[in-house]
Amino acid sequence: MTRVILLWLALAVVAIPASAQPTIQRVRPDARDILAYRLALDGFRKFTQVTTTLDGIPTRQSPDEVRPDSAFLMVLAMGFAYNTPWTDRDVADHAARIDSGHRELARAIRSAGLTSREYVLTQMTLLLAHPVIARKKHGLTDPPPTDVAAENLAFVEANWAEVDRYMTRVQQRIAGERGGR
């Protein structure tokens, strides 16, 4: 239950207007791989295919177990709640952890045509860009963030319906996996 609360807290923090937020460093300025990564429609659709593939695999062994893609998202989002900025080392560590410890997720990623590194970078970039565009869609005019590329913001905005549908579906699935807790 604590993990779900922290996830929602982390997601709520990124939804607060920037002017009302304390300055939160989400990505270290020297995280060149994260800052240089660019979303593209083909890569985003491959990324969402991972979720679709995992939707068809029964993975819950106990009532408290969450899917590996859900757990990965919660781990990333908790970094925001704890004000722990991402580093390029985090990308490598998460990719290695997926490859060595989450066989179903690693298989789904490869089946979709991505590497674990690309999967990690796509998830990070969506977590950075989606809330910015969500606030903009609600009429909030925040200063542009420095930890997400303008091209990624433009991608999310141009593909808003598809990106928001995916992000909303994932948040709802995580809540459901945790029994609404």
The parent domain of residue 87 ranges over 2-20+28-177
pTM: 0.83
pLDDT by residue, tens only, the chain of 181 residues: 444 444 444 454 444 444 444 457 899 999 999 999 999 999 999 999 999 998 887 755 666 677 888 888 888 888 888 888 999 999 999 999 999 988 999 999 999 999 999 999 999 999 999 999 999 999 987 787 889 999 999 999 999 999 999 999 988 888 877 665 5
The tally of CA atoms less than 13 A away on the side-chain side of residue 54 is 25
Alpha-carbon distance of 40 to 96, in angstroms, equals 23
Q: Which residue from 13, 8, 26, 16 is spatially nearest to 145, judged by alpha carbons? A: 26
The tally of CA atoms less than 13 A away on the side-chain side of residue 63 is 4
Q: How many domains does the chain have?
A: 1
- Contacts with 111 (C-beta within 8 Å, 6 or more apart), sequence order: 49, 50, 53
